[in-house]
Structure 1
Amino acid sequence: MSTFHGYAAPAAGKPLEPYSFEARPLGPGDVEIAISHCGICHSDLHLLNDDWKMSQFPLVAGHEIIGTVAQVGSAVRGLTPGQRVGVGGQCGSCGTCEWCERGEENLCALQQPTCIPGPGGFADRIRVNARFALPIPEALPSRDAAPLLCAGITVYSPLREAGIGAHSRVGIIGVGGLGHLAVQFARAMGAEVTAFSTSPDKETEARALGAQRFIAAREPSALGAVRGSFDFLLSTVTADLPWLDYVATLRPRGTLCFVGIPPSPLMLPALPLIFGNKKVSGSNTGSPSDIREMLEVAARNGIRARTETFPLKDINTAIGRVARNEVRYRAVLEL
């Protein structure tokens, strides 16, 4: 047996503590990864606090993992020791259902989240199904690539699914951990990009990331001034906003897509949707092939997560700063 070392929450809401655990046996289709970087996602905070009532303690969270291959199972092809790879929020699936056979493993009913029951990436090593360990392009620095494994694919997938291109008028709601990547991907796809934010001081950075227009969303007339303007709105925020006003900014056949989770149920009348053939949707990250494509797009277009790094031993400090929204824009642990 192999012993791995990391940090775990002993119970919901408790500070993380050093934790050693026995690794599961390396199966024929598995790969062992020596972790060098792991991003901290708001989903990790929800798991550590057991907000979704699915956590199992002690909990080793972390699902934006970059590292090098240490061992491969006997049936693994295409990955070799020393190769740099990444693992996102999913580390396994059944492999036989209709969704897996279509290459949409992220929709598999038996998909295996990376840190439930875990252990995840807040550790020195991890073992996962090799199909979910993706090569990292050489052009992407590890610390800036780590958040792409969750935040990056979360925003790339709905933009790609919507067919965003040079013809598209796209609005990104929120310029934060997700939104700052969404702006970059939408611009790389050729869209006209507008960033919405309740923080006016983010305008300069939003424009530097690729937004051609910035809307200070708290201004009383801001949303009314862009009625009927957008083909696609991507909401990356975890706040309750005046959603009907945002629906009004859509053009006919436009879509409001959620990747951030507002705390309250959506309350929208049907009539504005019916009259404009408008849609409200959500998006569930992406498959391994989607992630591979997203990483290549990021490498070719110079798309990077803006990161702050912390040594693993300072993990509680890093988690506290993420919880207080003090990081611009993603926190990454370095081992």
Structure 2
Amino acid sequence: MECKRDDRSPISTVGIEFPFFKGSKNGGLVEATGHLDLGPTQVSVTITHCGVCGTDEHFRRVDQGLSHEGTGTIVELGSSVHVISDFQVGDRVGMGWFHRFCGYCNFCGQTGRQTLCVNRSSYGSADQDQGCFGSALAWDISALYKIPESIASEDAGPLVCGGATVWTPLYDSGVKPGARVGVIGIGGLGHMAIQFASKMGLEVVVFSNTESKKQEALGFGASELHATQSRESLKGVKPIDIFMITTSVNPKMSLYYPILVHAAKVYPLTVSMENRDGVSPMNLINDSFVIVDSGVAATASIRVMLEFAARHKVRPQIEKFPMTVTGINDAMQKLRDGKMRYRGVLVAPQ
């Protein structure tokens, strides 16, 4: 990739001020004004849209800027941006959980696994005086992603966060077309997992409590759906090669182990502090199951994911809300109640 500078792109020499929304001890939203001096490898982004993620609820009672699914337009460049990248003013970009990678540790420089960067900074632990629930922010280009032209800004935030979360197991697992991929849940993560897997040529088998979402699952690309409520056995279901847990709570894994092939890979994507049911050394010894915790994809993987989503028309199903106190509260309450279909997106005032 050639790195060049458009001489019309302004390089920042002064700080930026911006309104944003943050959490508080009582859980109420607080409107605040932030001020940041743009670093040499940062860009200033005007936010146009922002996805609402379940993890935002975890930080609602913390005095920090909320959210990490922002999409917007670059309006200023740090002094070194034009030297080390091809980002320019006017580029449409998205950001996710991670704010910065160092670029020189072993994980960044040798393995390409930036999510394990020893000097990384991320949502909830850094830059707490800004958030994607707001009008602007400063972001390091090491964790910034150009949005393909065919992907709408309202769809980009959920793809960079939730889309990247479900993309990682499929992209990294080595699974091949024709393999059977099990997906538990048809929610904010599951509906994108079904789309990515089916577009990769995989046979997607969905498990849900009831058959109420069967037609939706088939519409997203699933081959079959099995209702699990009150079932003690899934006898008759053909074996599963890779298994993705996308529900908000941990499932009863003893129900699923009998239908996994030997050496099946299990990816728990649920953010939960609860212990997992049914995991024993014998599952690992006798069947060689591989349980792989997985989160947000690495930088190169996210770029490939966005290009894949653009080419194959993988899109989140979204509901839009205004980026106001009322709009944010309504969106987060709907997510908390389990009624969001399937990702909430805030739209900034024009």
TM-score range, shorter chain: over 0.9
For 1:83, the aligned partner's letter is D
Distance 2:144 2:283 in 1: 43
Per-residue deviation, 1:115 = 4.6
CA distance in structure 2 between the partners assigned to 1:152 and 1:161 by the alignment: 14
Instruction: Tell me the equivalent position of 2:180.
Output: 169
Query: Aligned to 1:137, what secondary structure does the other structure show?
Result: coil
Between the aligned partners of 1:248 and 1:111, the Cα distance in structure 2 is 39
How far residue 2 of structure 1 moved from its aligned partner, in angstroms, is 2.4
Contact in 2 for aligned 1:224/1:245 (Cα 8 Å): no
| Residue in 2 that maps onto 1:237 | 247
CA-to-aligned-CA distance 1:208-252 (integer Å, 9 cap, x gap)? 0000100112152562332x6100000011213211221221011
Provide Cα deviations, 1:112-155, integer angstroms capped at 9, x if missing partner: 11453322201100101112111100111111121011100000
Q: Secondary structure at the match of 2:175?
A: coil
Shift of 1:33: 0.5
Q: Which residue does the alignment assign to 2:8?
A: none
Partner secondary structure for residue 298 of structure 1:
helix
Instruction: Tell me the residue number matched to 2:330.
Output: 317
The corresponding residue for 1:18 is 31
Contact 1:247 1:256 in 2 (8 A): no
Question: Is contact 1:164-1:186 (8 Å) kept?
Answer: no
1:95 and 2:103 aligned:
yes
Pairing partner for 1:109 from 118, 123, 148: 118
1:70 paired residue among 64, 70, 75: 75
Q: Does 1:297 align with 2:308?
A: yes
In the alignment, is the contact (CA less than 8 A) between 2:24 and 2:60 conserved in 1? Answer: no
- What is the number of equivalent residue pairs in this alignment? 325
> Which amino acid in structure 2 is aligned with residue 324 of structure 1?
D
How many Å separate the matches in 2 of 1:130 and 1:199? Answer: 44
Structure 2 regions of 5+ residues with no counterpart? 1-14
Shift of 1:21: 1.5
User: What amino acid maps onto 2:112 in structure 1?
Assistant: G
Question: C-alpha displacement at 1:271, in angstroms?
Answer: 1.9
Preserved CA contact (<8 Å) 1:34 1:124: yes
Counterpart among 203, 211, 235 of residue 192 in structure 1? 203
Q: What is the SS of the residue equivalent to 1:200?
A: coil
Query: 2:149 is matched by which residue type in structure 1?
Result: E
Equivalent residue number for residue 330 of structure 1: 343
- How far did residue 47 of structure 1 move? 1.7
- Give the structure 2 partner of residue 135 of structure 1: 146
How far, CA to CA, are the matches of 1:222 and 1:214 in structure 2?
Answer: 15
What TM-score do you get using the length of structure 1 for normalisation? Answer: 0.93
SS at match of 2:307: helix
Query: 2:49 aligned to 29, 37, 45, which one?
Result: 37
Q: Tell me how large the CA RMSD over aligned residues is.
A: 1.5
Q: Any idea what the Cα deviations from partners look like across 1:90-111, whole Å, max 9, x if unmatched?
A: 1102222110113211111321
**Structure 2-normalised TM-score?**
0.89
Conserved 8 A contact 1:5-1:123: yes
Q: Give the secondary structure class of the aligned counterpart of 1:257.
A: strand
| Partner Cα distance (2:19, 2:233) in 1 | 50
Report if aligned partners of 2:20, 2:131 keep a CA contact under 8 Å in 1. Answer: no
CA distance 1:115–1:38, change in 2 (3 Å): farther
State the secondary structure of the residue aligned to 2:309.
helix
The worse-fitting range, judged by mean Cα deviation, of 169-178 and 195-204 is 195-204
With 147-156 and 237-246 compared, the bigger mean Cα shift is at: 237-246
Q: Is the 8 A contact 2:233 2:255 kept in 1?
A: no
8 Å Cα contact 1:62-1:115 kept in structure 2 = no
The answer to whether the 8 A contact 1:237-1:261 is kept is no
| In structure 2, distance between residues paired with 1:287 and 1:173 | 24
Check 1:309–1:270 CA distance in 2 against 1; reply closer, same or farther (3 A cut).
same
Give the residue type in structure 1 aligned to 2:97.
G
The answer as to whether partners of 1:215 and 1:222 remain within 8 angstroms in 2 is: no
How far residue 167 of structure 1 moved from its aligned partner, in angstroms, is 3.1
Tell whether the 8 Å contact from 1:238 to 1:263 is kept in structure 2 after alignment.
no
**Distance in 2 separating the partners of 1:75 and 1:103:** 22
One-letter code of the match for 2:179? S
